[in-house]
Structure 1
Amino acid sequence: MKEDPDRGVSRRGNDSAAEGDDVERALTVSSSEREAYDAFVEEHAQEVYNIAMVLTGDRFRADELAQEAFLKLYRSLRHFDPDRSLRNWLYTVLKNLYIDSWRRENRMKTSSIDEPVSLGGGSSVPFQLESPEPDPERAVGSNEVAVIVRDAVSRLPKKYSMAVALCDLEGLTYEEISEVMECSIGTVRSRIHRGRKLLRERLAHVAPQLLGYTPA
């Protein structure tokens, strides 16, 4: 997935004034800063897309959400605190953009990552993949396993799916996840524990042979 801030602006149909601001912004960014930004995007594009996919369950929406997060990062480079983790800040932006977009689309339904959700069936999950269940017989390689596990994670209640994805799929520490999700480390531990339990229950139905598999 190639991230292009200018293409992202055009696709979202922002007005000419906003586009003009981006042109001015590009002219004032030093070449070294732009190179650093491009390198950061290249390094983290796939993992940001993966988290967006877990949150949205839709490839187009995930791509759009990831591009929007990178665009917001680009516009804020000169104001970013260098003592903070840029990656963690980006994940926080991604989470907040998802919540905002979900609330806009659902208006009166304001359930979010930080609000109570039903732990029963898949009906409590705002977004789910539209593709059919993966065939367990096809899980013969690491790619197939990753697809099945990521799909199962995406179907968890969102406050659990993001915590599990950040920890088990992207390798963030509890402290980093606490910063991203803006909650205590104790809450992070609880969400990961509960999320993993729900994940195992789901895998027991769709791919029981993976119950001993721990995402890398």
Structure 2
Amino acid sequence: MLISRFQQPVYNLIYRLLNDPADACDAVQEVFLKVFRNVESFRGQSSLKTWVYRIALNEAYNHRRWFSRHRKQEVGLETDEEGSRSWIESISDPARDPYELTLNEERHQLIEDALREINPDFRAAVVLRDLEELSYEEIAEVMQVSLGTVKSRILRGRESLRRVLVAKANDAKA
């Protein structure tokens, strides 16, 4: 029940923070191991969702810190970086409009690429609010910062994201 409810949202959060599907899968496994090992320490002062997201955020930061120090260049064997249906499989689905599918895929990739370029604290706040749809209060609990800091990070993160997207659009025009 717990895994089926939170696995995909936790994966989405961690993937957007780590930008690597294999690392995200590893981190998600660690998150659920920690959740199950420490479930008795959950006191109910926050929602279960914010408690799990806090563990996920910490695990993503730990992974990023560890890999920035230890990781060598690796060559992946997977052809599908997203860990889901490939673009070709999706476009061959007769129920989907190929034009809309292509536009959505391009927009999605553009936003994901832009997210990678902004400050990690801003990125986490924007992802938690705009993609995971957490409230400001839940984000404050997950990130262990004040409500004002959350609002500031979301505002600054959205501004940074907008600047990156505008710069990419201007580069594409040139």
Q: TM-score, normalised by structure 1?
A: 0.58
User: Residue in 2 aligned with 1:185?
Assistant: 147
Of 45, 52, 61, 2:23 maps to 61
Counterparts in 2 of 1:191 and 1:139: CA distance versus 1, 3 Å: farther
SS of the residue corresponding to residue 76 of structure 1 reads helix
Q: Which residue number in structure 2 is paired with residue 43 of structure 1? A: 5
Task: Provide closer, same or farther for how the CA distance between residues 95 and 143 of structure 1 changes in structure 2, counting only shifts above 3 A.
Answer: same
Offset from partner CA, 1:41-65 (integer Å, 9 cap, x none):
1122221111111111111111111
Gaps of 5+ in 1: 1-38, 108-130, 132-136, 209-216
Cα separation, 1, equivalents of 2:6 and 2:114 = 22
Supply the distance in 1 between the matched residues of 2:63 and 2:127 (Cα, whole angstroms). 20
Q: Sequence identity of aligned pairs in percent?
A: 37
1:48 to 1:102, Cα distance in 2 relative to 1, 3 A: same
Partner Cα distance (2:44, 2:65) in 1: 31
Q: Which has the higher helix share?
A: 2
- Unmatched segments (≥5 aa) in structure 2: 70-80, 82-98
Is 1:195 matched up with 2:157? yes
Higher relative contact order (CA 8 A, sep 6+): 2
User: Is 1:175 paired with 2:124?
Assistant: no
Report how far residue 78 of structure 1 moved.
2.8
Q: Distance in 1 between matches of 2:157 and 2:101?
A: 22
Report the number of matched residues. Answer: 142
Change (3 A) 1:82 1:61: same
One of 95, 104, 127 as aligned partner of 2:66:
104
Cα deviation code 1:128-170 (max 9, x no counterpart): xxx8xxxxx9974444433332332233110000000000011
Relative to structure 1, the CA distance from residue 77 to residue 173 in structure 2 (aligned partners, 3 Å threshold; closer, same or farther) is same
Q: Tell whether the 8 Å contact from 1:139 to 1:145 is kept in structure 2 after alignment.
A: no
- Cα distance, 1:68–1:207 mapped onto 2, change above 3 Å: farther
1:71 to 33, 43, 55: 33
TM-score computed with the length of structure 2 as normaliser:
0.71
